[in-house]
Chains A and B, each alone.
Chain A
Amino acid sequence: MFKAMVEAFKNLFKPVRTINYPAQEISLPNGYRGLIEHDHEACIYCDKCEKVCPPGAILFYQHEEGGKEYHYNPWLCIYCGECVRACPKPDEALWQSETKQQSGVKEDGVNEGWFVWEEACKESREAYAAAKKERKPKMKSEEPLCVS
């Protein structure tokens, strides 16, 4: 009983073990797995990151003239770093930063906005493949003409 009272009295003067969160920043450890960052100039657009990504948080939009556009959903990403390990130019084209993603709000269109992109990227690929197919038979039919 006496021991318990002494312990309770001591506890009054011990420092608190919790963090006063919004007022006090939480320190992240070195090497925290944060957002994936991309440099469009260094990227060679090989699509390897898109293929390995488990949740499908990286998408490439195919332009008709041949260029590609990188899209990334930071809220869908699980920050596993598979894309960076698959990248042929890691640290230059694609790297993992230590910044923590903030929570998404309605305006960010976390789901709806991304579904639109998913659909658009899929359609752009199909349209590009169809256009390529159309161009190829023409080329073939032209070839014999040239020979003759």
Chain B
Amino acid sequence: MKKTIQIPLGSQHISLLEPIRFKFECENETIIGVDADVGFVHRGVELACTRSFEFKQVGYVVARVCGLCAITHSLAYTLAAEKLLGYVANDRIKYLRMLMVELDRIHSHLLCLAHTAENAGFEALFMQIMGDRELVMEVQEAISGNRVQFDYICIGGVNRDLTSELCDLVRKNLMILSEKVEVLIGLFDNNWSLSLKYKGIGVLSLEDAYTYNALGPLARASGLATDVRAETSDFPYEALGYTMIVESTGDIHARNFVRLREIVNSIAMCRNIVDNLPMGEIQEKVKGKPKGEEIVRIEAPRGELFYLVRGNGANILERVRIKTPTFSGIPAMMEVFKGSQYADAPAILASFDPCMSCTAK
């Protein structure tokens, strides 16, 4: 007689924001086997980039891959295209791009923390964090002119400049936010009932993180020091006070803490950017057509985002390949589920911060 039962989670489930299906093989309450299916929101973005749109327009198309890290996607594509065209952006453009990416990281991490809280059964904390997240959204809306689809980065620069009033708004809102994040850190660290749901649950060991190639906060929570920001030199992160945040326990609590401390680090970097913004043009003319092949790696909020762009000297590109952090992290995620309780699955899943529309694109 079969001793295990199969319980599906998804593709539609109360704890999921986006469609993903996990098939859990359970022995009583313990999960012993996992199978994942992610292709529910495939939209054919990669093909559209090489058929319907010219290379100057593709930056706006890939921004629609994901609502949360729209700016990271368009930045990764733009960097690849600029490398093909032989253009190097000036310091002001680099700083403005970094500012938006870091703001993006802050609000994405806050969303993930809110979701982890909600899926562990803390609705009020979810509301509180989402309320605090508005501070960052407000700044991004004021800078780029839109709340979600920023369309801020274009080939050869950025579309809008940072005025002194905007600088003041950034400083003011980040000041309020940093106080709120301090309170959240205390709450996530000391609250007894939160620790029941988070501490020692969903553990990914350092060896497993290596074996299954974990990335982003998932890897850093297990003690694996990997961050594209430290590995590439496209942006002057070191000069702006970037520190790699690494935890050692590898459970949900550690992942939350990596995110919280990264928010603190990002806030400090954003302040540095606003205070030390160099002078220069915000948009420069880039001539030519992309020819050749280029790869770009960018640290998205969830981990390494990989872009391959190939052009043959025509207006329309030959190939655009997008490898998103969630897709690369699936083997590690499946490993975490094994051995944990079925009831903890929603909270563990939320702590990965999976982005399905990125993965299926």
Contact = CB atoms under 8 A, between A and B. Distances in A.
Q: Do A and B bind each other?
A: yes
A33 to B, nearest CB: 4
Contacts of A82: 57, 60, 154
Closest 9 CB pairs of A and B: A33-B145, A54-B57, A80-B151, A29-B142, A54-B60, A17-B131, A33-B146, A31-B145, A29-B141
Given A29-B141, A80-B151, A81-B159, A52 B57 contact: yes
A81 B154 CA distance: 11
Given A29-B142, A79-B146, A80-B151, 14 more contacts: A30-B142, A32-B141, A32-B146, A33-B146, A33-B151, A52-B57, A54-B53, A54-B57, A54-B60, A78-B60, A78-B149, A78-B151, A79-B145, A79-B151
Interface of B: 53, 56-57, 60-61, 131, 138, 141-142, 144-146, 149, 151, 154, 159-160
> Contact size class for A?
10 to 19
27 contacts: A17-B131, A29-B138, A29-B141, A30-B142, A31-B142, A31-B145, A32-B145, A32-B146, A33-B145, A33-B146, A33-B151, A52-B56, A52-B57, A54-B57, A54-B60, A54-B61, A78-B60, A78-B149, A79-B145, A79-B146, A79-B149, A79-B151, A80-B60, A80-B151, A80-B159, A81-B145, A81-B151
Interface in A33-59: 33, 52, 54
Contacts of B138: 29
A81 B149 CA distance: 12
Contacts of B57: 52, 54, 82
Contacts of A17: 131
Nearest to A28: B141
A56 B138 CA distance: 29
Nearest to B146: A33
Nearest to A30: B142
Nearest to B131: A17
Contacts of A85: 159
Contacts of A80: 60, 151, 159
Contacts of B142: 29-31
Contacts of B145: 29, 31-33, 79, 81
A80 B70 CA distance: 13
Contacts of A33: 144-146, 151
A82 B63 CA distance: 15
A80 B149 CA distance: 9
A79 B149 CA distance: 9
B288 to A, nearest CB: 17
Nearest to A79: B146
Most buried by A among B61, B138, B144, B146: B146
A17 B180 CA distance: 15
Most buried by B among A30, A31, A52: A31
A108 to B, nearest CB: 21
